[in-house]
Structure 1
């Protein structure tokens, strides 16, 4: 009985001690720093999947802000004008038609991304890696298959053929002073018919004008208002557009089309390469480097085709099926070096304007 009483007494004391014990201090968790903002200056055509952007933000505790700034030329102009107080950390979308100008303006810093190892050398146009290649595409003439079949016309096989009578009033181009594809097509003609040759680019454009070429201010007007293809409502069956336009026609039909209603004319293409660079004075240089690495990674590269309808530069990036079937690059494409373009661009546009629009 005494043992029972003693046990009960000890149990009571232990319970009382437990009730009177000081509360345990909570374990303090380290507080995560607020996300840093990374600003990307781009042309208006930039697009990436939300989950892809979110992955970068989550992995790097960052908030990505996309600063759309007009076309590639306007974006570059804005970056140059703000070089002493940069508006962004990174610039994307400058292509090889403006690369020389971007490098001469000294607005970007070198960065030797490890991801460059997966990119073919032919895309690396800046030996100092101030501007790193991200994607490429081809401006090319698209044709309306049904129109040509109905009229019994075989697709042209060269640029020179566009000046022949059967193609009078059938071609739509864009103004190179206001349109990126318009400028690329002008450059294709300069590469095809060099200055000083027996038949040079200026004579080609005189002949196109005599053959009733139509000049649109931009791609949208040319493709949707002047072109006769399925997406267009105009009277002309030939339009300066992109090599991936046939794939886009099938993709955006959401299953209605099994074959593209448009085709590409070989021998009319100009290759465009788009670049990314870290702006001098970037507030978040380390984060900017991670973004460049991310854009060149397989994750981002495989998102590019169906977002911007251009080709990824990474060799390991897989293409979507619609690109494999209907979006293959042309067998050949015209090109000029960034130095040639930078030296001649303004004068070429001025000369073109006098020849074609005056």
Structure 2
């Protein structure tokens, strides 16, 4: 999905820890005959032991306490393997589908979902823990992928830079074409960055098949800069507080501003332009041919548990798919989701992804 290395680096640089673990069950007396135990909450969990291998992107991050509790409750050892970003991960699953490298995958996003399904690397599974309101994110009727979290990729602005310059913040995509915003925006290359691809898809959703490429020609003519990765765009080119650059507009996440708020202050120096957003969805799935499919299913159930869903914002800087889970207090002020994000149907993405990236490259990079 996504270029989640962004959130991992944000964790390291800003030192934001995971949310405190609350309400986790303790393992009760085991039943060796059935291979299950009864937790304090009354749930039956596997205690057969063994390993379940989780294939994920570079920035999978949850509280260590949660992982330890999962292993205690299930008797499983969670082994994590991260072959790269979301695109690299999907490519690896496809290349190894005849000899699967894991049991369960997390981090396939809606820009790569149909590719993974079409290549036959996933085994259908519908978790009993899936929230009812998450059905809107279903990719297929078979349940090949289970939605776990969402995130809005949007233009972020350095509000302090604009205030100092006496220039109003842009609001819409069209505003970014105006001459007063020339040479101010940096984006990521969609061929190498998941947020970059998400932003390309936002423009497809905004302007349609007949207009998105003309829009990018306009951005090119207005001096847009292109970085290879989110970390390069945000930390090297962007002018925000955590950054070193001179461009006050960058493609990032709507959840980035809370982590720019200085300690002890209640004002965010950056903001997201919520009329420029694309809604990313991250999924988990059982890998076809998995050595431990039952363990894989338990991992998916765990990722949907209230404890993990509550940990996701503070650990991975995205929104839990369960809308009943309370968000950190500062997210309501500084990280609202877009009311009407731009969307592109997964099937349309699958049919056009490579051609869109090629057309974008020819137009913007030349």
Tell me if both proteins adopt one fold, taking TM over 0.5 as the criterion. Answer: yes
- Does residue 280 of structure 1 match 2:280? no
Instruction: Show the counterpart of 2:191.
Output: 177
Match of residue 266, structure 1, among 256, 264, 274: 274
Contact 1:99 1:338 in 2 (8 A): yes
> CA-to-partner distance for each residue in 1:253-275, whole Å, 9 max, x for gaps?
4x244221101112100000000
Residue 152 of structure 1 and its aligned partner are, at CA, apart by 1.5
Aligned pairs, number: 324
Tell me the distance in 1 between the aligned counterparts of 2:240 and 2:297: 43
What RMSD over aligned residues (CA atoms) do the two structures have, in Å?
1.7
Tell me the distance in 2 between the aligned counterparts of 1:286 and 1:201: 44
Match of residue 316, structure 1, among 309, 318, 324: 324
> CA-to-partner distance for each residue in 1:115-162, whole Å, 9 max, x for gaps?
114443212232211100000000000001111111111111210111
Instruction: Show the counterpart of 1:289.
Output: 297
TM-score normalised by the chain length of structure 1: 0.87
Contact 1:118 1:315 in 2 (8 A): no
- Does residue 189 of structure 1 match 2:197? no
TM-score normalised by the chain length of structure 2: 0.85
Partner SS, residue 241 of structure 1: strand
Partner SS, residue 330 of structure 1: coil
- Does residue 249 of structure 1 match 2:252? no
Tell me the distance in 2 between the aligned counterparts of 1:356 and 1:115: 44
Tell me the distance in 2 between the aligned counterparts of 1:212 and 1:99: 33
Instruction: Show the counterpart of 1:301.
Output: 309
Instruction: Show the counterpart of 1:329.
Output: 337
Partner SS, residue 142 of structure 1: strand
Residue 112 of structure 1 and its aligned partner are, at CA, apart by 1.6
Instruction: Show the counterpart of 1:165.
Output: 179
Where structure 1 has 5 or more consecutive residues not aligned to the other structure, the ranges are: 1-29
Partner SS, residue 189 of structure 1: helix
For the structure 1 residues 71 and 287, does the alpha-carbon distance in structure 2 shift closer, same or farther, using more than 3 Å as the test? same
Contact 1:298 1:316 in 2 (8 A): no
Tell me the distance in 1 between the aligned counterparts of 2:181 and 2:139: 37
- Does residue 357 of structure 1 match 2:365? yes
Instruction: Show the counterpart of 1:116.
Output: 130
Higher CA-based Rg: 1
Contact 1:118 1:316 in 2 (8 A): no
Tell me the distance in 1 between the aligned counterparts of 2:275 and 2:181: 16
Match of residue 96, structure 1, among 89, 94, 110: 110
Instruction: Show the counterpart of 1:76.
Output: 90
Residue 320 of structure 1 and its aligned partner are, at CA, apart by 1.5
Tell me the distance in 2 between the aligned counterparts of 1:316 and 1:188: 27
- Does residue 48 of structure 1 match 2:40? no
- Does residue 209 of structure 1 match 2:217? no
Contact 1:168 1:211 in 2 (8 A): yes
101-110 or 123-132, which deviates more: 123-132
Tell me the distance in 2 between the aligned counterparts of 1:316 and 1:130: 24
Tell me the distance in 2 between the aligned counterparts of 1:294 and 1:194: 38
